[in-house]
Structure 1
C-alpha cells in the first residue's frame, strides 16, 4: 500500500528540517522560525502516525488525510532540498577562504530574490501542514495512536552552565534578574517572572547564568528546571517537578487531588526556585484554572518561578511580576560575538574583513543567532 511509506517519509523530512546546512541557510534568510515550526509539526504528526496506517484501510477519512499529508510532505521535502542546495552552492562558491566566507553573506547572487521566493514556498507548505494538523486534532485522529507509545520528545533544555562558553552583553540583565529574585524574600505568595523575546536572543542562556549564580544557589533551598516546550500538560509538568524535588522516579495518579497532595508533601515550606523554560501555551484557562493553583500555593516565603517564552501574551498570562522583555544585543556586543565566532584574532585586524563583518552585524540588528 502506498500509505505504508508515509511514516518514514515524514520522519525523513523532519530529520532534513533539523540538518545543519538547512538551518544555516534559513537563519541567513531570516526564516528559521518557520523552519522550526515546520519541524515541530512534522514531529507531532510522526507521533500520531505510529498506528494509524492500519486503520486507513477501513477508514476513508484517514486514507484521504494521509494522501494529502503525503503530497504536503513531498512539497516540504522539495523546499528543504532547495535550502540545502543553496547552502552547498554558496559553500562551493566561496570555498574555505575566511574572507570569501564572510563576503558570501552579502553576495550579489540575488540573495534577496532567493529569500523572497523561499519565504513564499516555505510559508505555503507550512500552512498546508498546519491545516492537516488542525484536521488531525479536530477529527480525533489522535485516538488511533497507541497510548503506550511514548511521545516524541520536544526540544529539551537543562540548567547546566557551560563554563567555557562566553556570554556577550547580558551581564547587566543577569545582575538585575538576580537582584529581583532575591528581593522577593518577604513575599508570602509564589512570584512568577516571565522573560520573553524572539527566538535567538539568549533567554535560556541568560536564565542558566541566573540559575547557577552563587547568590541564587545559596538563597533558595530547592532549585528545579523543567523545559516545557509545547507539551503544556499539567500532570506531566507536576510529575517532573516532583521528580526534580525528590530525585526519584514518580508514577503520577490519575487524580489531580492526589497529585496536589504529593506536591505539597515534597515541596513543603521550602523556598524554591523553579524555571519553566520555553513555554508556548497561550490558553489562559489552562494556567489560571489548572497549573497556577498547584504551583503558586506551595513552597516557603520568597519562592519564585521564572518563565521563558517568545510570546508577550504568554508572559502577560503567567506573570505576577512585571515581565522582562529581553532586548537585542547592542551593536558593540553583537560585533564582539560575531567576530569571536567568525574570525580568528589575527583576521579581525584586517580592515576589509572587519568592515564587511560590521555591515553584516548591522544588518542582523542585534539578533545574530550564532
Structure 2
C-alpha cells in the first residue's frame, strides 16, 4: 500500500513538472525537492513494510505519517490542476474587455502561491519523516533502491484533466455503474452522494472526471471541485 501510494505521488510530481514547466517558476524547486525526498524515502519502504508486518509499532507509525504526507501532496496537486483548469475555462469565456488585456499569468499567481505554500509545509513534514527513519529504527542499510525498486518508480503520466477516454482501459464498467446511479431515477429516486473509494493510484480522480464529462450532457448545472483535507468552506462556496 505505502509503496504504491508513494510511487503514484512521485509520478504526479514528475507530471506536474512536465505539464507546467514554464508556469511553475520558483515553485518548481519545491516540486523537485519533494520528488527527490519521496524517492529517497521510497527506497526505505521495503524494510518498513517488513517491520510493520512483524508487528513493529514504530515502523507502523512511520508509515502512517508518510501516507498522510503523500495524500496531502496528492491533494495539493489535484487542487492545483483543477483551479488551473477553472482559470483557463474562465479566460476562454470572459468578455473581450479591458480585463481581457490582463496577462494570463497574473490570474495564475494566486494558484501558484497556494501550491507553493502547501508544498513548503509539506517540505518540513518530509524532513521530519526522513529524520524519523532513525527514531523508528528503519535500518539505513535497507534504505537502498535495488534494480527491482527502480523498475517500479513511476513513469511520467498524464494529468487527469487531460484524460483521453479512448486510452483509458478498465474503467468503463465503473463509469457506467455510477452514471446509472446518477441518471436512473428508478435506482435512486433522489440524487445522492456517491463515494469512490480506493488506494492511491487506482484511478479515482480519472473515474470521477470521466463521469463528470459524461454528466455534462445530462445536467444543466454542473461543477467539479477538489476538496482537500485542509479546506476552507468559504473558498469552496465562492467557487460554487
Identify the structure with the greater helix proportion.
2
Identify the structure with the greater strand proportion.
1
TM-score by length of 1: 0.34
Higher relative contact order (CA 8 A, sep 6+): 2
* Structure label with greater radius of gyration: 1
TM-score by length of 2: 0.50
